[in-house]
Chains A and B, each alone.
Chain A
């Protein structure tokens, strides 16, 4: 045989390699599957198959036999195959319940022009609408009122607002800390500061949220004198605290891996330590530092607990950071348990999840593209 032994020569290595390959592949598969399953729940919203109108055309139960199965299935909010598993009596009872429910809607609401509106249509999800009783068209998220209002804009603004405050707080702090630890700090200090900051990431976000709620909110209110104790600013600062260890850790690695020879060259030219760190090391580490910021963004926009606790959860459209606000994530967390399984509220919440996923995915993709470009510039 001699050299023609192929993978039989080192079977353990071969198995180990294949195993590691399978593990890495499964990670990719997992991401894909999560997206698939979340997306599947949200699919009816995207396809326009949901109908959240309060007053719907009622199919009388006596007409059950005459109705086509697919129409009946959609009317009862199930799939055709689910429909086939139910016997006629069950279906009739379900239809009777619908009839009764329709009759119980108070006349005043039934006559509301909005009662027949399917609020899961795109124009109601994205554009302002002048609901009955409002003086002008508005963006409103109010899923549990008699007319289910599902406008996404307040939540998107809420998420972006807290995230931007969080990044504005976390990025300068963590980059400064990373620069200090990697370039300027004496080694003995470095040994304390680095684990200290990274320890922050070990604090559960619910604890951090409680801290923001109990301590930070009042403390910041005393300083800035804003009106609402819980708001985007407080939530953003707390979010920033969750992002600091992540951004710091990655940026510090990137800065530390800049070759010592660059530092020596700059110092030998007569640059101060600070000038070297700022003008030579930071630009050389730009791709890694940028990656740190992108991941920090993902962390901030995906964080749930902190915003749920500290933001005040008011779904208002406002760019004022001192107004209470509500994020996409907090909305999902707060409302998912209340939403009827398979109902329009449930579908819309999953759509929010899909949206979040798409946003972080796109950011990472764009971040990667920018990183490649930064790397090429050298």
Chain B
């Protein structure tokens, strides 16, 4: 586990109006590993995740202080192009949100957005992304039918395919399996383990078994604070803090 650091935050604080939702968070997330954020609802883990692709910019009255570096660059610097940033940092949401377009166009959209025009190149990337998301065999015969006709689990894998099609460095996942049944969840988890060969993955999850199954590092958040951050095996077997132990053993939540 001696990978290079990719995301680094220094004293990140986030305010909704006057209330402080994140309280001075320092974390270093390493390349090509899966890092899980766990913690009770409202602890700020999703909010923190959205700092990495600046999705919090969309909310009014949000103010962020501190430093957030990705690959050594401050992503909140004035001259940062948010579009370039989001190309490097992809995201998969809690509820699958394919566009009301065909399966093919869902993936091609991001490619066209970033200037890929060549039809055969797009065809190739659509196929490789769908294969990468373990969806190709299920949809190869109906690429041009609506994405909304897929099952929930398939839709979520399509969203992952859409995210990896533009080759980001990092994929943020906000509880990607929480709306899925156990079988679909297993597929997503297998996919994540496959994806970490190429991408750095940060995943928010409510499911602690899921965190133990897929993540290398785990960060435990509680009311806007990062309580403990360590190797997943350590967090779940021998946590340093009492609060962490209480949470992972199910004594509170």
Interchain CA distance A271-B85 in the complex, whole Å: 11
A-contact bits for B48-71, CB 8 A (1 contact / 0 none) = 000001010010100000000000
B29 interface hit (Cβ, 8 Å): no
Near B by CB (< 8 A), chain A positions 248-268 give 259, 261-262, 264-268
**Judging by beta carbons under 8 Å apart, are A267 and B86 in contact?**
yes
**Judging by beta carbons under 8 Å apart, are A267 and B109 in contact?**
no
B-contact bits for A204-236, CB 8 A (1 contact / 0 none) = 000000000000000000000000000000000
| Closest CB in chain B relative to A48 CB, distance in Å | 52
**Judging by beta carbons under 8 Å apart, are A265 and B113 in contact?**
no
A341 interface hit (Cβ, 8 Å): no
Known contacts: A265-B93, A270-B86, A270-B114. The answer to whether A284 contacts B60 by CB under 8 A is no
**Judging by beta carbons under 8 Å apart, are A269 and B159 in contact?**
no
Interchain CA distance A275-B235 in the complex, whole Å: 43
B99 interface hit (Cβ, 8 Å): yes
Cβ-defined partner of A269 (8 Å) among B58, B86, B148:
B86
Known contacts: A269-B166, A270-B87, A272-B83. The answer to whether A261 contacts B146 by CB under 8 A is no
Q: Note all chain A residues with C-beta closer than 8 A to B224.
A: none
Query: What number of A residues sit within 8 Å (CB to CB) of B?
Result: 21
Known contacts: A262-B97, A275-B113, A378-B100. The answer to whether A187 contacts B148 by CB under 8 A is no
B134 interface hit (Cβ, 8 Å): no
A-contact bits for B128-167, CB 8 A (1 contact / 0 none) = 0000000000000000001010000000000100110010
* A264, A268, A279, A284 interface centre (most CB from chain B within 10 Å): A268
Cβ-defined partner of A265 (8 Å) among B83, B99, B148:
B99
Interchain CA distance A47-B98 in the complex, whole Å: 57
**Judging by beta carbons under 8 Å apart, are B99 and A268 in contact?**
no
Interchain CA distance A293-B148 in the complex, whole Å: 26
Interchain CA distance A268-B176 in the complex, whole Å: 15
B91 interface hit (Cβ, 8 Å): yes
Q: Note all chain B residues with C-beta closer than 8 A to A262.
A: 97, 99-100
A-contact bits for B95-129, CB 8 A (1 contact / 0 none) = 10111110000000110011000000000000000
**Judging by beta carbons under 8 Å apart, are A377 and B146 in contact?**
yes
| Closest CB in chain B relative to A154 CB, distance in Å | 45
* B91, B98, B100 interface centre (most CB from chain A within 10 Å): B100
Q: Note all chain B residues with C-beta closer than 8 A to A280.
A: 99, 109
B-contact bits for A355-378, CB 8 A (1 contact / 0 none) = 000000000000000000000011
Chain A residue with Cβ nearest B54: A267
Known contacts: A187-B60, A265-B159. The answer to whether A270 contacts B166 by CB under 8 A is yes
B90 interface hit (Cβ, 8 Å): yes
**Judging by beta carbons under 8 Å apart, are B162 and A269 in contact?**
yes
Q: Note all chain A residues with C-beta closer than 8 A to B97.
A: 259, 261-262, 264-265
B interface residues with partner A (beta carbon < 8 Å): 53, 55, 58, 60, 83-84, 86-87, 90-91, 93, 95, 97-101, 109-110, 113-114, 146, 148, 159, 162-163, 166
A interface residues with partner B (beta carbon < 8 Å): 186-187, 259, 261-262, 264-272, 275, 279-280, 283-284, 377-378
Closest 7 CB pairs of A and B: A261-B97, A378-B100, A268-B91, A270-B86, A269-B110, A270-B87, A265-B97
Told that A259-B97, A262-B99, A264-B93 touch, could you supply 17 new A-B pairs with CB distance under 8 A? A261-B95, A261-B97, A262-B97, A265-B93, A265-B99, A265-B162, A266-B99, A267-B55, A268-B53, A269-B86, A269-B90, A270-B84, A270-B110, A270-B114, A272-B83, A275-B113, A283-B101
| 5 pairs of residues in contact across A and B, judged by CB atoms under 8 Å | A261-B95, A265-B98, A265-B159, A270-B110, A271-B83
